[in-house]
């Protein structure tokens, strides 16, 4: 099928883009970034936006840089930018390990990090990264700029704190300390499919015990999130099989797993334990 008719806008600056959004947001005006989620749903007429505000000509949104201990990822930075480490140390390696699980190569050359975060699919790998590392989302509109913490940003399946007239201009991730260990494990039925469940973990070792654990789970609930009970089960313990098993069991017990036509909630809850344990073993 072909999309329903729409008006196309191609601003050259962020100011122009947010001014256009202010005018068209009320008539279902949408931002077009990589188009890898929006265009298919328009082609199926599941979405019929009256206006598209294409941000691909805005040069400043291609910025990917380190600022004050944070990695700033501009709205037009594609998934493929992360195929090689974009920062020294564990953060660059973590992003490079995660990106290869996102869709397929051609999609990664077009789709954007910020587009994934704005789209907020429960099984988006970048949303899990933002939630686990407590990323910050920078939202800009004609009314001004605000910074939204990840825990407040993700609000439900494909639902975020972004207002209709707001452009997500960048996502900021904290640079990880050089001795941070990380592990990422996802389960999907075929390579390139969305995850049924996935876990991202980071921790440091101090005097042989686990410090600053972060355990994030995605794909299992409407939004990815850190699982405090699993982190508590890990903190202060030696990184051994017993500790990993305890944290995995705590993660599994804490999630309110989603159910769909092919995957029961019980199966998904069980899978959360497995992906958490495997991510910890990797770390
Ligand atoms: C076959 C297939 C498999 C896929 N598998 C995966 C996968 O395994 N994991 C995964 O995470 N993704 C997957 N995707 C989705 C892909 O990663 C998309 O690139 C991503 O979800 C959206 O990014 P985009 O830049 O293409 O956004 P678009 O498609 O352009 O936009 C998506 C939505 O976000 C809004 N939006 C985009 N950018 C902004 C912004 N800066 N500010 C405000 N709103 C914005 C748009 O208005 C739209 O509503 C898959 C897609 C396909 C087609």
Query: Residue 170 and residue 147: Cα distance in Å, rounded?
Result: 10
Q: Are strands 64-67 and 70-74 parallel, antiparallel or unpaired?
A: antiparallel
What pLDDT is recorded for position 282? 98
CA torsion, ordered 263, 220, 164, 95, to nearest 10 deg: -120
Query: Residue 125 and residue 193: Cα distance in Å, rounded?
Result: 11
**E strand intervals along the chain:** 7-9, 29-32, 51-54, 64-67, 70-74, 136-141, 144-149, 154-156, 159-160, 167-174, 181-187, 197-206, 209-218, 225-226
Query: Residue 260 and residue 196: Cα distance in Å, rounded?
Result: 10
In the block, tokens 């092919």 appear at 262
Residuewise pLDDT in 10s, the chain (283 residues): 789 999 999 999 999 999 999 999 999 999 999 999 999 999 999 999 999 999 999 999 999 999 999 999 999 999 999 999 999 999 999 999 999 999 999 999 999 999 999 999 999 999 999 999 999 999 999 999 999 999 999 999 999 999 999 999 999 999 999 999 999 999 999 888 999 999 999 999 999 999 999 999 999 999 999 999 999 999 999 999 999 999 999 999 999 999 999 999 999 999 999 999 999 999 9
Query: Residue 254 and residue 217: Cα distance in Å, rounded?
Result: 10
The separation between CA 91 and the C-alpha centre of its own chain, rounded to angstroms, equals: 14
What pLDDT is recorded for position 100? 96
**Ligand 1 mean position, distance from CA 281 (Å):** 30
Q: Taking a C-beta distance cutoff of 8 angstroms, is the pair 82, 181 a contact? A: no
**Ligand 1 mean position, distance from CA 243 (Å):** 36
Query: Residue 178 and residue 88: Cα distance in Å, rounded?
Result: 9
Q: Taking a C-beta distance cutoff of 8 angstroms, is the pair 25, 65 a contact? A: no
What pLDDT is recorded for position 11? 98
Pocket, ligand 1, Cβ cutoff 6 A? 30-38, 40, 75, 102-103, 107, 111-112, 114-116, 118-119, 121, 124-125, 162, 167-168, 192, 194
What pLDDT is recorded for position 22? 97
- pTM of structure: 0.98
Q: What are 111's two structure tokens?
A: 């789709």
What pLDDT is recorded for position 65? 97
Closest C-alpha residue for ligand 1 atom 14: 103
What pLDDT is recorded for position 35? 98
* Biggest CA-to-CA distance, the chain: 63
């Amino acid at each position: 099928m072909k999309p329903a008719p729409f008006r196309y806008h191609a601003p050259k600056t962020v100011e122009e883009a947010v001014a256009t959004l202010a005018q068209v947001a009320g008539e279902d005006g949408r931002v077009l970034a990589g188009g890898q989620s929006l265009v298919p749903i328009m082609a199926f007429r599941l979405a019929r936006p009256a206006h598209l505000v294409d941000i691909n000509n805005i040069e400043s949104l291609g910025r990917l840089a380190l600022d004050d201990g944070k990695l700033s990822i501009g709205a037009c930075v594609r998934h493929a930018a992360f195929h090689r480490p974009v920062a020294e140390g564990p953060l660059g390696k973590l992003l490079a390990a995660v990106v290869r699980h996102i869709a397929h190569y051609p999609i990664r050359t077009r789709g954007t990090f910020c587009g994934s975060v704005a789209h907020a699919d429960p099984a988006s790998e970048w949303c899990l990264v933002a939630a686990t590392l407590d990323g910050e989302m920078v939202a800009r509109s004609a009314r001004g700029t605000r910074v939204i913490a990840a825990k407040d940003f993700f609000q439900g399946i494909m639902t975020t704190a972004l207002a209709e007239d707001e452009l997500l201009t960048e996502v900021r991730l904290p640079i990880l300390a050089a001795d941070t260990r990380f592990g990422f494990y996802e389960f999907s039925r075929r390579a390139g499919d969305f995850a049924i469940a996935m876990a991202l973990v980071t921790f440091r070792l101090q005097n042989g015990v686990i410090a600053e654990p972060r355990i994030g789970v995605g794909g299992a609930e409407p939004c990815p999130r850190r699982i405090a009970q699993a982190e508590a089960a890990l903190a202060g313990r030696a990184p051994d099989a017993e500790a990993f098993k305890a944290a995995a069991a705590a993660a599994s017990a804490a999630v309110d797993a989603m159910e769909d036509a092919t995957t029961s909630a019980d199966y998904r809850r069980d899978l959360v334990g497995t992906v958490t344990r495997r991510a910890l073993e990797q770390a």
